[in-house]
């Protein structure tokens, strides 16, 4: 299995990206003592395992899907030729990251496939009404590695998609069946704002049907729910933020959703009304 991006067809580049996207996220990928590589992917979505199975079939590799008593669907395959995958990956402390061949590639179809597969494995699409009656919409990628999420952020930026990184959960020790279990720090890479969510839907999207449907419904909700804030609200937020130095405090003081304030003061996204005014002045 010779893998060179400039020699692969678009269909095979996409298939390779879909396989690679699962390895730093949900799949197990490792070298056995006999020199063979194991690839194991477990998912609650049968459609996801079917997508990855189809990706392998593009390279003439037949993979069977089976379901265990846990209810999870499994894709398992062992090949010596999987050493070709390692040039797209970097292993550090028993964790896989993407190599510069992936992060810096100019092949957008390949890069979108990597992001899409990672989002299917370790991503969520969330829309909810918050306590103050504001509509919250976001896509989030989760991982214990901040560096890995920064790689994804760089790839998203190449599509014009702005995202931000945050720590979702601090490390903790929890007792499970009288045994202490160490849970690592969990970080999330989040995409908010209609422009960014719409770009993701059009240029990357999810592969799992239920996640695709949820994203479509979330984008449609922008036409039905939500207040359009004035230029004055925007100016108040910009004026208050340097004083309190906390966008959530600005949100509480002005009763404007946190995501809206963050888009204004941290991401530099202007409200639509202001953009319309600026266009008229040109």
CB distance 212 to 200 below 8 Å: no
CA 47 to the chain's CA centroid: 18
Asked if residue 240 and residue 163 are part of one domain, the reply reads no
User: Which CATH number goes with the domain that contains 66?
Assistant: 3.10.28.10
Residue 93's pLDDT is: 80
Residues of the chain with pLDDT under 70: 1-2, 129-135, 175, 223-227, 282
CA–CA gap between residue 200 and residue 103 (Å, rounded):
17
Asked if residue 112 and residue 243 are part of one domain, the reply reads no
| Domains of the chain: total | 2
Residue 134's pLDDT is: 55
Residue 156's pLDDT is: 97
Full-model pTM: 0.76
Length of the chain in terms of residues written: 282
What is the distance between the terminal CA atoms of the chain, rounded to a whole angstrom?
55
Residue 273's pLDDT is: 78
The domain in which residue 255 lies consists of: 231-281
Q: What is the pLDDT of residues 188-217, one digit of tens each?
A: 999 998 899 999 999 999 999 999 999 998
């Amino acid at each position: 299995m010779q893998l060179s991006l400039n020699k692969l067809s678009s269909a095979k580049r996409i298939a390779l990206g879909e396989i690679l996207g699962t390895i730093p996220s949900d799949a197990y990928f490792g070298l056995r003592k006999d020199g063979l590589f194991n690839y194991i992917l477990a998912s609650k979505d049968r459609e996801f395992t079917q997508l990855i199975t189809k990706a392998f079939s593009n390279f003439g590799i037949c993979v069977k899907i089976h379901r265990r008593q846990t209810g999870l669907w499994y894709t398992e395959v062992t090949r010596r030729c999987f050493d070709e995958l390692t040039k797209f990956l970097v292993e550090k402390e028993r964790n896989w990251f993407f190599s510069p061949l992936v992060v810096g590639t100019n092949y957008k179809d390949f890069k979108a496939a990597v992001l899409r597969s990672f989002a299917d494995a370790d991503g969520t699409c969330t829309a909810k009404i918050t306590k103050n009656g504001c509509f919250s919409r976001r896509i989030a990628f989760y991982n214990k590695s901040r560096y890995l999420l920064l790689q994804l952020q760089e790839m998203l930026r190449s599509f014009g998609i702005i995202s931000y990184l945050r720590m979702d959960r601090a490390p903790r020790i929890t007792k499970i069946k009288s045994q202490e279990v160490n849970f690592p720090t969990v970080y999330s890479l989040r995409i908010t704002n209609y422009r960014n969510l719409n770009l993701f839907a059009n240029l990357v999207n999810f592969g799992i049907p239920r996640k695709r449907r949820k994203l479509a419904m979330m984008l449609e909700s922008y036409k039905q729910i939500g207040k359009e804030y004035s230029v004055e609200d925007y100016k108040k937020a910009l004026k208050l933020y340097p004083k309190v130095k906390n966008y959530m405090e600005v949100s509480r003081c002005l009763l404007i959703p946190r995501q809206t304030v963050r888009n204004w003061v941290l991401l530099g996204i202007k409200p639509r009304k202001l953009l319309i005014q600026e266009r008229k002045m040109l």
